[in-house]
């Protein structure tokens, strides 16, 4: 049965940003439905919810599959009398790999989850939002949707695609009173980092590229941005009296985006061409204001 509380759906709540967001929204009094591919693997979420005295209603669905999304949202909409006030498109994957050695299948799989997964979910809630002339859709993008980070080729492509998709969607639904936003986090301490260990390098030519990427993430993880920071921004965006299309949070995001905007394309490409690590880290700091050099 639907309640008088506002209703939120958060995708990919089994870990990381999704789990933190679902718990935070529930703590703010929203009725939260969280999607997972397997309820049996959501024991930590359920334990954290119990400890916090809140409830997250779990629904099994796979955002990568049309029929799974339709069936999952049918269950949600049946339980809520067709109402969803907030959709948080969070479910995603983050493969690592340079363009030369990343199979096209990885690109297709990544875009299917990160972009098409969001599209599938929006298509389920938008008719109701449009008819009620209210609702908020926020998608978890990445600062890498604005800065083409090396060695994350498929991931970056999917996040750049989200940027354009959200721009267009925001205009499409504006006449119906539906709000759209994109959240662009930087580095956060989430389980997705541990899942991204594959570094395809058949030629052996990209060892330096991977090492520098990991230096960036090591520096970010040391800075300690937690998934709860992103969850808080999701809620603030939902309740914002002066809503924006884009929100930036977590370590490295604002500096990376503003740094890239201020540099020329020649400077950007030149950064990648630097051979010496010490020179690269110094130039990186100069351009972005981020010290990622090893401390030992």
For the chain, which residues make up each domain, given as ranges?
A: 7-195+225-253
In degrees, rounded to 5, the angle at the alpha carbon of residue 221 between the alpha carbons of residues 223 and 201 is 140
The catalytic site residues sit at 155
CATH number of 7-195+225-253: 3.40.50.720
Q: Which sign does the torsion angle of CA 64, 68, 73, 76 carry?
A: negative
State residue 3's pLDDT score. 43
pLDDT tens-digit profile, the chain (296 residues): 334 689 999 999 999 999 999 999 999 999 999 999 999 999 999 999 999 999 999 999 999 999 999 999 999 999 999 999 999 999 999 999 999 999 999 999 999 999 999 999 999 999 999 999 999 999 999 999 999 999 999 999 999 999 999 999 999 999 999 999 999 999 998 745 445 557 888 899 999 999 999 999 999 999 878 999 999 999 999 999 999 999 999 999 999 999 999 999 999 999 999 999 999 999 999 999 999 999 87
What distance in Å separates the CA atoms of residue 272 and residue 263, rounded to the nearest whole number?
Answer: 13
Coil, helix or strand for 248? strand
Write out the E strands in 116-259.
Answer: 136-140, 179-185, 246-249
Give how far Cα 73 sits from Cα of 35, 106, 126, 151, 293, Å. Answer: 9, 27, 12, 35, 46
What distance, in Å, lies between the first and last C-alpha atoms of the chain? 58
What distance in Å separates the CA atoms of residue 205 and residue 219, rounded to the nearest whole number?
Answer: 24
Coil, helix or strand for 13? coil
Strand 246-249: give its sheet, edge to edge: 56-60, 31-36, 7-11, 86-89, 136-140, 179-185, 246-249
State residue 195's pLDDT score. 54
State residue 136's pLDDT score. 98
């Amino acid at each position: 049965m639907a309640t008088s509380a506002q209703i939120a759906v958060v995708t990919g709540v089994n870990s990381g940003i999704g789990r933190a967001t679902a718990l935070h929204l529930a703590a703010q009094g929203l009725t939260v439905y969280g999607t997972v591919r397997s309820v049996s693997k959501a024991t930590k979420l359920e334990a954290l919810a119990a400890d916090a005295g809140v409830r997250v209603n779990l629904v099994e669905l796979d955002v990568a599959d049309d029929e799974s999304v339709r069936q999952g949202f049918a269950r949600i909409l049946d339980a809520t009398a067709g109402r969803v006030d907030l959709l948080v498109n969070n479910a995603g994957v983050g493969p690592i790999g340079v363009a030369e050695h990343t199979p096209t299948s990885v690109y297709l799989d990544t875009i299917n989850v990160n972009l098409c997964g969001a599209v599938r979910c929006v298509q389920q809630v938008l008719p109701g939002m449009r008819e009620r002339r209210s609702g908020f859709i926020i998608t978890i993008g990445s600062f890498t949707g604005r800065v083409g980070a090396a060695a994350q080729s498929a991931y970056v492509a999917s996040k750049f695609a989200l940027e354009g998709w959200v721009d267009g969607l925001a205009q499409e639904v504006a006449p119906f009173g539906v709000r759209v936003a994109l959240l662009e986090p930087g580095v956060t301490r989430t389980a997705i980092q541990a899942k991204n260990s594959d570094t395809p390098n058949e030629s052996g030519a990209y060892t330096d590229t991977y090492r520098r990427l990991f230096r960036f993430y090591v520096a970010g993880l040391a800075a300690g941005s937690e998934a709860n920071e992103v969850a808080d921004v999701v809620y603030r965006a939902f309740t914002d009296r002066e809503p924006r299309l884009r929100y930036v949070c977590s370590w490295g995001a604002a500096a990376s985006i503003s740094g890239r905007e201020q540099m020329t394309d020649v400077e950007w490409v030149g950064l990648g061409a630097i051979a010496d690590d010490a020179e690269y880290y110094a130039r990186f700091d100069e351009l972005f204001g981020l010290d990622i050099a090893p401390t030992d």
